[in-house]
Amino acid sequence: MKYTASQCAALAGGIALLLALAGPASGQATAPATVAQVERLRPLDFSPFEPALSALPAERRAAAEALLRNGTIVDLQQGMASGQLSSETLTLTLLQRIRQHDGKLRAYLELNPRALDEARQADRLRAAGKPAGPMHGIAVSLKDNIDTAGPMHTTAGAAVLLNHVAKADAPLVAQLRAGGAVILGKANLSELAGVVALAGGFGGTSAVGGRAINPHGDALPTGGSSSGSAVGVAALLAVVSVGTETSGSLIAPSAWQGAVGMKPSRGLVDGTGVVPLLTNNDSPGPVARSVTDAALLLDAIDTTAVNYTVGLNADALVGKTVGLLAGDILATPGQELLFQRATVALLAAGAQVRPARIVNTPECCANEVVAVFLASGMRHDMMPGLAARGAGVATLDGLLATMRTDPARRMPFGAELIEALAPVAAKISLADHQAMGRELTRAAAAMLDGAFAASGADVLMSFANQHSTYYATAGYPAITVSVGLLPDGKPMGITLIGKPGGDATLLAQAYAYEQASRLRPLPRGY
């Protein structure tokens, strides 16, 4: 789609804000400005669990926490199968940790008041020899833009949805329940998936829950909008979590919290029942502490019959070519040592490495088109999604007007992004929005395909969300796995970009890197 010079110039402010939306793609970010914390609009309610929490023996909680801290879901399942652990004890242990730490970390917006009932039911089914699958009895958090039937709410972090209760679970939630998973609660997020406020560069702020805190350091950013999912997993407040990706919004917080995060191929996980931002890009995906756990969670929420864990193999990179997007990675100061560590680990895993480059071949005003695409997605995807959920507003201007009636509660971190992009959105028709989606998807896929072909790579290596515009828009799978700490103490992850539909292969390659590197940092004090 072509734009005139005057149209491009008019969009300059929107472009600058769009580029700031995800924060620095990677590297040693400038320390964000101090952002005050705010009161939750809905305090976490522990009353349904109080008697059981008080009665839980300290030694049982310590044993459960040790298994949780040092193992994978496979280890937890073995503990439950042997009687060493129960889903009730695991769930109570996590609830106790949430009560202890989430007043500061703000990983959660709401707890599931039926979580303990679900855990006890999982234990009864296990005792009867009827476990439902690999996620049976495992406590999962859900980003709060994913619909859950009552009594929990689905707010997307916005005050206009504070009292919204979805009529039904999103399909991925129904699949988790059918597989025996325990829904622990709803995770905090950057409000409306990140289009409300920059909040001093921290990310992860919402009117409903306040600012999520990086457990590796209060002054470190949390990254994109799936912040609560990543914070909760990294700080042992959930076994795993389901986040969502639009462009780096799952990958970045996972990388910056030392977690594993995966954006699956487009359509692999049903996005029905997720509050939309850009339907073309949006994709739910797993956040976990290990590739094994990410594979198990993806298996539980996807739309295929693939068993991803069967293919996890420490030799999956032997003889494979990894295309290093070195020019872009090393252009960010502070990443040189971690790049070297990642390269050594890939070589140790048996991979061949070659330089690779994504040749940006944009049409005229491509940056402006991307800015328009975000803005028009807010108008044509997000606002209909909010209106359908009873937000009481149908337009971006109406949403802003509602926020301004009570700014201390409804927009405590400001609303500069939505304020800047709303006028842009008003000029874009639905037909133009849909055409942009098709063109940007085609262009992003062509650029990635060109990088694969020119380097002969089986998989491309990036850092954090540095190339998310390409893989998220193209619908290609990507996964981030930790590579250690930057000089400022912020975790960083390499991001492997796979070919469309190659999710099982990508998980196996990420597992091989993980086994060769063993570089996941643990947050102190949690």
Give catalytic residue positions.
143, 225, 249
**How far is CA 426 from each of CA 12, 338, 387, rounded to the nearest angstrom?**
16, 43, 17
User: What is the amino acid identity at position 92?
Assistant: L
94 and 141 Cβ atoms separated by less than 8 Å: no
Per DSSP bridges, beta strands 283-288 and 240-245 are antiparallel
The helices-and-strands tally (H runs, E runs) of the chain is 22, 13
* Neighbour tally for 337: CB within 10 Å: 13
CA dihedral (207, 213, 214, 219) positive or negative:
positive
- Using the CB atoms, write b or e for 399-436: b if 16+ within 10 Å: bbebbeeeeeebbbbbbebbbbbbebbeebeeeebeeb
Beta strand spans in 318-455 (E): 321-324, 352-355
Q: What is the largest CA-CA distance in the chain?
A: 70
195 and 411 Cβ atoms separated by less than 8 Å: no
d(CA 305, CA 426) in angstroms, rounded, equals 42
161 and 410 Cβ atoms separated by less than 8 Å: no
d(CA 49, CA 72) in angstroms, rounded, equals 25
* Neighbour tally for 366: CB within 10 Å: 16
221 and 273 Cβ atoms separated by less than 8 Å: no
Element spanning 472, H or E: helix 468-474
Q: Is 129 helix (H, G, I), strand (E, B) or coil?
A: coil
CA 458 to chain centre: 25
d(CA 186, CA 172) in angstroms, rounded, equals 14
Judged on CB neighbours under 10 Å (0-12, 13-18, 19+), 449 is: middle
211 phi and psi, to 5 degrees? -100, 120
The two three-digit tokens of residue 300, written as one number: 């539980």
The two three-digit tokens of residue 204, written as one number: 């992860």
* Neighbour tally for 217: CB within 10 Å: 14
Per DSSP bridges, beta strands 139-143 and 182-187 are parallel
Q: Which residues on neighbouring strands pair with residue 283, listed in sequence order?
A: 245
Residue 29: DSSP 8-state: P
Element spanning 50, H or E: helix 50-55
